[in-house]
């Protein structure tokens, strides 16, 4: 047999190549993990913020369109014609009941209801005594407390319906 020389890599070259490949794969995986974790955190924060924005938008719209707003045993009742929308404020969520129910998973604190800058603390016997024109509460978003304020400006038509003798 003839002694032939084969062209091949040495064991040292193969070992160094495998070491470099392992380092590149490790760095790539670590970078990918960091990016995925950052993306999930960003997405979660945006989803939570979307809940806050959606609640704010719907509550503002209901306040603006309301004929009257009344204090209810669970929260507030907003009347628009024959439609009644109820909001229930719990510590861990806010529920909007209308033709369908919406649940907003937010932490609410310090619910305050007012009429003509006077607090309405308890349910009174007549609807007129339960009328509201202000709603204040605080939502907890992650570690921050965000105050929300809503005011209803009643039209003259609403006020005349409230007190028919006001025309005289």
User: From CA 19, how far away is CA 36, in angstroms rounded?
Assistant: 26
One digit per residue, the tens of pLDDT, for the chain of length 168 reads 577 777 888 999 999 999 999 999 999 999 999 999 999 999 999 999 999 999 999 999 999 999 889 998 889 999 998 999 999 999 999 999 998 999 999 999 999 999 988 998 888 888 888 889 899 999 998 889 999 999 998 877 766 666 656 555
CA distance 159 to 168: 13
Q: For residue 2, tell me if it sits in a domain.
A: no
Q: Specify the 3-state DSSP secondary structure of 23.
A: helix
Asked whether residue 5 is assigned to any structural domain, the reply reads no
| Number of structural domains in the chain | 1
Domain that holds residue 118: 11-167
**pTM given for the model:** 0.76
Whether the Cβ atoms of residue 64 and residue 56 lie closer than 8 Å to each other? no
């Amino acid at each position: 047999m003839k002694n032939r020389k084969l062209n091949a890599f040495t064991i040292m070259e193969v070992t160094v190549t495998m070491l470099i490949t392992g380092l590149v794969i490790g760095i790539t995986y670590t970078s990918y993990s960091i990016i995925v974790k950052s993306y999930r955190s960003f997405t979660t924060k945006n989803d939570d913020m979307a809940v806050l924005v959606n609640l704010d938008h719907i509550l503002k719209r209901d306040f603006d369109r309301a004929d009257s707003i009344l204090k209810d045993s669970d929260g507030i009742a907003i009347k628009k014609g024959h439609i009644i929308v109820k909001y229930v404020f719990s510590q861990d969520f806010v529920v909007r009941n209308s033709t369908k129910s919406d649940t907003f998973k937010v932490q609410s604190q310090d619910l305050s209801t007012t009429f003509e800058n006077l607090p309405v603390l308890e349910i009174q016997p007549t609807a007129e005594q339960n009328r509201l024109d202000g709603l204040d509460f605080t939502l907890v978003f992650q570690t921050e407390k965000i105050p929300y304020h809503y005011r209803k400006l009643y039209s003259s038509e609403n006020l005349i319906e409230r007190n028919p003798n006001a025309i005289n």
